[in-house]
A and B are shown apart, each in its own frame.
Chain A
Amino acid sequence: MTTRIEKRFADLKSEGRAALVTFVMSGDPDHATSMAIIKALPKAGADVIELGMPFTDPMADGPSIQAAGVRALKAGQTLKKTLAMVRDFRKDDSATPIVLMGYYNPIYIYGVDRFLVDAKEGGVDGLIVVDLPPEEDEELCLPALKAGLNFIRLATPTTDDKRLPAVLNNTSGFVYYVSITGITGSAAPDATKVSAAVQRIKKHTKLPVAVGFGVKNAESARAIAAGADGVVVGSALIDALKKTLDDTGKGGPATVKAVADLVADIARGVRATGKVAPE
């Protein structure tokens, strides 16, 4: 069975360009604004949507995404509401893949079996769970694969050739290469090094490799897209969102526009490359 994620990467490959993967936090800054942002993303040029599931203790995230999670939780976001947002999105869009990204505890407390049923039925295509390395595959990865969801794994500069096979085993959909050691929103990566790292990963897998961490604008997206199958942008979108909030933390139409405009700009950078990484 081909998932939306697999289909999307295959289609873009035949178009000869990298995918733009956009990360936003569900429920940030509030339910309605967040829903409008998610709905605006595909039109702005997002090829895959990563939707953050807020968590109180996001230990791999930098200040921007931490703050986005805090805003979402404060506005009453829960995992149940995040799943409802995906269902709502699917009413108008049956093609754009959605990946839920977050930490394990809210899923564990929701109940793994119940979560997988609700996610699959609601139109979720894949999962990225930051604190579940291959050593803990029995927790969620294996049940998710069985349920027909992609389980996308992070590979990092510390994932050496010896460890890569363990990381790639049971990974599906795509590989998310974290281009620097560090938290989200850190300094921009070196495009040459990133391209070499992508090639290293590709020696071990046929899966597409998307690169994230440190992509901030059209220029950096273009540089990364030249050497990868996908570019992930997250903290930069959240920073753009935050700038539009008023003193009480409320967003509005300007919030949706700011995120969509930046996505459109970055999408131009990604599309300017016109080629994917060689096999």
Chain B
Amino acid sequence: MTVQQQPNSFRTGPDERGHFGIFGGRFVAETLMPLILDLEKAYNEAKADPSFKKEMDSYLAHYVGRPSPLYFAERLTKKFGGAKIYFKREDLNHTGAHKVNNVTGQIMLAQRMGKKRIIAETGAGMHGVATATLCAKFGLPCIVYMGAVDVERQQPNVLRMKMLGAEVRPVTSGSSTLKDAMNEALRDWVTNVSDTFYCIGTVAGPHPYPAMVRDFQCIIGDETRAQMQELEGRLPDSLIACIGGGSNAMGLFHPFLDDRSVEIYGVEAAGHGIPSGQHAASVTGGRPGVLHGNRTYLLMDDDGQITEAHSISAGLDYPGIGPEHAWLGEMGRVKFLSATDEEAVAAFQLCSQLEGIIPALEPAHALARVFDLAPKLPKDHLMVVNLSGRGDKDLASVQAWLEAHKK
């Protein structure tokens, strides 16, 4: 991709029509358009209301358990002998991932709007679990759409959602994964327009979702800035996070976008390798198109038909990416890298064994790139990796992968 002329600030988007450069927008059926306009209005009002923020901060502190620690990964740092590696421990949040930050905000907004029924899509199940959790807390019925393939490979999360009182609806259309779950959630929303709130789990979809989800996740980067200041007395030198839709990455990156000294890396899932065509790296291996309400980088064929993504990680198994990431990539502000299934599994094991932290397969992709970036960097380089979720849900997948790839 070509690097465009740099704007004065990377943090002012989107414009009033939801565009980040050519990306974003509101590509939805007319039935949904009035709902999206209502949502935008309600969100803007909530954002301007100090009591909304106060209430949200209280839930984040007492229910989610924030702030999450910024942890110095000492043994991994020693092993690689270069950059000082810090983990932003989103895995320690209630429900075990960063997803709960956004869901807390959206469920509060749903209540403010008087919506009585919550729907969500989920890939790895972490967003589904977070949504089911908040719905249980606030006494709202919750329906989670999940690709049938993901229902199989993320059984522990399916059981968690059911225990929390949510209805999990397996989706068998298309490739039976996250994109199809999102189609089905949109179909539900088109049908149940008056009482239903669609809680989207990532920084994608029609405006205002990408901006709203980003805002709710920015607490990750805001805390990181304050914590690094306290620990090291300065800004980090680099940030790195995995990107499927990209909400954990955007939450970490966005507060630092205008600190030009901070290098930023997004790691996509390369599946069996980019040349194999079986991957989920939409920036590295895709091109701009329109799906799920926004223009962004997508995996597709020459006829504009969306192709199936592949990743060992259900949470990254999506053929698109949030539109703001697409724009930041084109601007050259975020550098896109990728990691294969094999590299992610190796990083999953190494992190577990050296730090006593079992990471989710999603951030294991970011760790895989940390492991080759860190050794080349000086010892005073401060690198923050977003450890976006815990790996309990992935133990069966990793075990199966290791069995299948015994050397």
Contact = CB atoms under 8 A, between A and B. Distances in A.
A105 B291 contact: yes
Contacts of A130: 29
Interface in B21-76: 25-35
B233 interface: no
A109 B27 contact: no
B30 A109 contact: no
Interface residues of A, number: 44
A158 B291 contact: no
Interface in B8-29: 17, 25-29
- Secondary structure of the B contact surface, majority rule: mixed
A133 B207 CA distance: 13
A167 B300 CA distance: 30
A136 B25 contact: yes
B123 to A, nearest CB: 15
Which residue of A132, A136, A154, A158 has the most chain B CB atoms within 10 A of its CB atom?
A158
B305 A56 contact: yes
Interface in B150-180: 173-174, 179-180
Contacts, number: 114
Interface residues of B, number: 35
A133 B33 contact: yes
Contacts of A154: 29-31
A159 B28 CA distance: 14
Nearest to A156: B31
A264 interface: no
B300 A105 contact: yes
B98 to A, nearest CB: 26
Interface stretch (A36-44, A180-188, A237-245): A180-188
Interface stretch (B105-113, B183-191, B215-223): B183-191
Which residue of A135, A157, A160 has the most chain B CB atoms within 10 A of its CB atom?
A135
Interface of A: 55-63, 66, 73, 78-80, 103-110, 130-136, 153-160, 163, 167, 178, 181-183, 186
30 contacts: A56-B174, A56-B305, A57-B174, A57-B179, A57-B183, A57-B291, A59-B29, A60-B187, A60-B190, A73-B305, A103-B290, A104-B27, A105-B298, A106-B304, A106-B305, A108-B289, A108-B290, A131-B293, A133-B26, A133-B27, A133-B28, A135-B26, A136-B25, A136-B27, A158-B35, A163-B34, A167-B30, A181-B193, A182-B190, A183-B191
Given A105-B306, A167-B30, A182-B191, 18 more contacts: A57-B183, A57-B291, A78-B303, A104-B290, A105-B298, A107-B304, A109-B302, A109-B303, A110-B303, A131-B29, A133-B26, A133-B33, A135-B25, A156-B31, A159-B33, A178-B30, A181-B193, A182-B190
Interface of B: 17, 25-35, 173-174, 179-180, 183, 186-187, 190-193, 289-293, 298, 300, 302-306
